[in-house]
Amino acid sequence: MSEEHETAAEAEVVEQPADLAPAPRKLFVKTYGCQMNVYDSDRIAEALAPHGYVAVTSAEAADVVVINTCHIREKAAEKVYSEIGRLAKMKRVRQRNGGSLEIAVAGCVAQAEGAEIMARAPGVDIVVGPQSYHRLPDMLSALRRSGHPQLDTEFPEEDKFRHLPPRAKPRAPSAFLTVQEGCDKFCTFCVVPYTRGAEVSRPVSAVLDEARHLADGGVRELTLLGQNVNAYHGAGMDAEVWSLAKLLRALAELPGIERLRYVTSHPRDMGEDLIRAHAEIGKLMPYLHLPIQSGADRILAAMNRKHTVDDYRRLVDRLRQARPDLALSTDCIVGFPSETEAEFRATLDLVAEVGFVQAFTFKYSSRPGTPAAEFESQVEEALKTERLSRLQAVIDAGLVAFNRSCKGRVLPVLFEKAGRQAGQVTGRSPYLQPVHVPGEAGMIGKILDIEITSVGPGSLGGVIVQG
Ligand code: 5AD
Ligand code: SF4
C-alpha cells in the first residue's frame, strides 16, 4: 500500500519537465486546537506538496502561511485574530519591499466567521472551512489568477478524503487517523456541530487503507480521531454498518499495529460491544478519555448532555469491570450559566470519586450561536477563575498520586523521539505519560519494558528492564 502511494507521488513530480515545474513555494502551517486540527494540518501540507509546496518551520521563512484555527472557546478564537494581525503586518512590510505573503485561514474559525474574517482582517487571501481544505491548491491558483480573495466554507456532498492525496510517509511511530467527523449531540455550550457539521463516518475500507499505509511506514500506535468517535458507524466492505468496536478489532489484526487508542467519546455512545472491546482487545490501551463536563445533574441537563451523573458512574463501573487497569481522563467545564457553589462542589466530589488520572478543565466560554450563550445567570469571570483553580488542585492531586503509584512498576513504553537531554529517548506509557529513559535512537519505534525509577511533575523516568 505504502509503496503504491510513494510511487504515485513520485510519478507526479517526475512527469513534469524541469523547465515547466512550478518553483517550490515555501509553506508554513500553524495549528491551533485539537488533535483533529493536527491531523488536518498534516493533510493540508500533503495536499499542497504535489503542487510544489515545501514545508518550512516558521511564517518568516514562508511564502504561504495557513493558520488552522480553533473556535471552541473565545480565547482560542481571539488568539487567531492576533496571529492574523501579526501576519498581515509582515505581509505589508514584504509588499513595501517588493515581496509577498499569502495568508490562508483554515479550520473552525474559518467555518464560523468566514466573511467576518475577510472584513476584519484585510490581509487574508483565503478562508477555507474544515470540509473544503482539499480545494486549497485550486484556491491558491484562483487567487493568483484573479487577484481576489477566495472563500469556501461549504459542507460539500463529496467527501474531502476522496480528493486528498495519499498520506505522506509517517514521521513518528504514533499517528492520528480521523475516522469520524462532526457531531449531532448539540451540547448547549458547544460550537462543534456548527463548525464541523453533522456526524459523518469514513468508510471502513478507507480507514483500513490509511492504517495499513501508516503501519507500513513504521507507525506502531494509532489514535483514532473523531469529535464523537465512539458514535462511529462506517460503511463496511460487507455491506454492514461497522461500529467503532468492530473497526478496532479489524485494526488490531493489522501487522505492525501494536497499540490502539480513540478520542473523543461521548458517554451515551459507549455501547456494550465497545466496553467488551476493552476487555478483549489487548492492543487497545487501558486509557480512556470520557468527558463528564459537570458533576451536577441539573447542569448536565442544561448542557443537553443526555446523561446523568449516575449514568456516568455506572458506565465507569462497567468499563472497569471489563478492564480493571483502565485509567480515565475527562473534560470539565466550570461556571456554566447558573452553576451554583453546591453544583460546582458536586463536580469536585465526582472528580475525586472517579479518580481521573488526567483532566482538562475549562471556564465556560459563551460562544455566539449556541443556546447557552442566551441563558440567564451567566457566571462572573472571577468566580469561574476561582472555581477553575479549586478544580485544578483536585485534578493535580489525582495526577500526582497516579504518577507516584507507577514508581517501581514495569510499564511497556513506545519510544517516539530523542529526549531533550543527550543520550535520552522519550516514549509514552500505556497511560500516555511521557517516559524518559537513557538510551539511543535505535529504540525509537520499539515498545520496551521499562522499570519506572523516578516521578517528575509531568513525566516519568525509568530504565530498560534487562533480559
Ligand atoms: N466553553 C468552555 N469549554 C468548552 N468546551 C467545549 N465548548 C466549550 C465552551 N463553550 C470544552 C468541553 C469539551 C472540550 C473539547 O472543550 O469540555 O469536551
Ligand atoms: Fe461538542 Fe462534544 Fe457535545 Fe458534540 S458531544 S456538542 S463535540 S461537547
Task: Record the cell numbers describing residue 25, joined without a space.
Answer: 513555494
pLDDT of residue 467: 62
Ligand sitting nearest the alpha carbon of 332:
1
> What nine digits make up the cell of 106?
483554515
Q: What is the pTM of this model?
A: 0.93
* Element housing 212 (H / E): helix 204-216
Q: How far apart are the first and last CA of the chain?
A: 35
Asked whether the predicted pLDDT for residue 441 surpasses 60, the reply is yes
Above pLDDT 90, what percent of the chain? 88
Distance from C-alpha of 446 to C-alpha of 66, rounded to nearest angstrom:
34
Query: Which of the given ranges, 114-118, 311-315, 398-402, 462-466, has the highest pLDDT on average?
Result: 311-315
Q: 166, 9 in Cβ contact below 8 A?
A: yes
* Residues β-bridged to residue 332: 293, 361
Quick one: which H or E segment has residue 136? Answer: helix 136-146
Residue 2 has pLDDT above 70, yes or no: no
| Residue whose CA lies nearest to ligand 1 atom number 6 | 190
Ligand 2 atom closest to the CA of 303, numbered from 1: 3
Atom of ligand 1 minimally distant from the CA of 72: 7
Beta bridge partners of 277: none
Q: Would you say residue 225 has pLDDT above 70?
A: yes
pLDDT band of 120, cuts 50, 70, 90: confident
C-alpha cell, 137:
491548491
Q: Residues 130-174: pLDDT tens digits?
A: 999 999 999 999 999 999 999 999 888 678 999 999 999 999 999
Instruction: Tell me the mean pLDDT in the region 410-438.
Output: 96
Question: Residue 121: its pLDDT value, please?
Answer: 86
Alpha carbon of 228 to ligand 2 centroid (Å): 7
Query: Does the pLDDT at position 365 exceed 80?
Result: yes
Q: Which residue has the higher pLDDT, 15 or 431?
A: 431
Q: Measured between alpha carbons, how far is 205 from 174 in angstroms, rounded to an integer?
A: 21
pLDDT at residue 22 in the model: 57
Contact 122, 88 (CB under 8 A): yes
Q: Find out whether the beta carbon of 190 lies less than 6 Å from any atom of ligand 2.
A: yes
What type of residue sits at position 58?
A: S
Q: What percent of the chain has pLDDT over 70?
A: 95
Model pLDDT, residue 77: 84
19: cell is 523547465
- Residue 11 is predicted with a pLDDT of 31
Mean pLDDT throughout 305-319?
Answer: 98
Count Cα atoms within 13 angstroms, Cβ side, for 44: 31
**Which of 35, 70, 185 to probe ligand 2 with, by most ligand atoms within 8 A of CB?**
185
Q: For residue 353, what is its C-alpha cell?
A: 470519586
* CA 308 – ligand 2 centroid, Å: 16
Q: What is the mean pLDDT of residues 244-260?
A: 98
Q: CA 232, CA 180: separation in Å to the nearest integer?
A: 6
Among candidate residues 295, 361, 356, 367, the one with its CA nearest the CA of residue 326: 356
The bridge status of strand 221-225 relative to strand 259-263 is: parallel
Ranges of H-type helices in 15-135: 35-48, 74-96, 107-120
pLDDT at 20 over 90: no
Q: Residue 224: phi, psi to the nearest 5?
A: -75, 135
User: Cα(330) to centroid of ligand 1, in Å?
Assistant: 11
Across the range 256-279, mean pLDDT stands at: 98
| C-beta 227 within 6 A of ligand 2 | yes
Res 52: pLDDT: 94
Taking the centre of ligand 2 as the mean of its atom positions, its distance from the CA of residue 186, in whole angstroms, is 6
190 Cα nearest atom in ligand 1: 7
CA of 239 to the centre of ligand 2 (A): 29
Pocket test for ligand 1, best of 34, 188, 190 (most atoms within 8 A of CB): 190
**Half-sphere exposure in the Cβ direction for 203 (13 Å, CA):** 13
Q: Which atom of ligand 2 is nearest to the CA of 331?
A: 8
For 37-86, the pLDDT digits (tens) are 999 999 999 999 999 999 999 999 999 999 999 999 999 888 899 999 99
Residues touching ligand 1 (Cβ under 6 Å) are 72-73, 189-190, 291, 293, 331, 333, 362, 364-365, 367
**What local confidence, expressed as pLDDT, does residue 9 receive?**
31
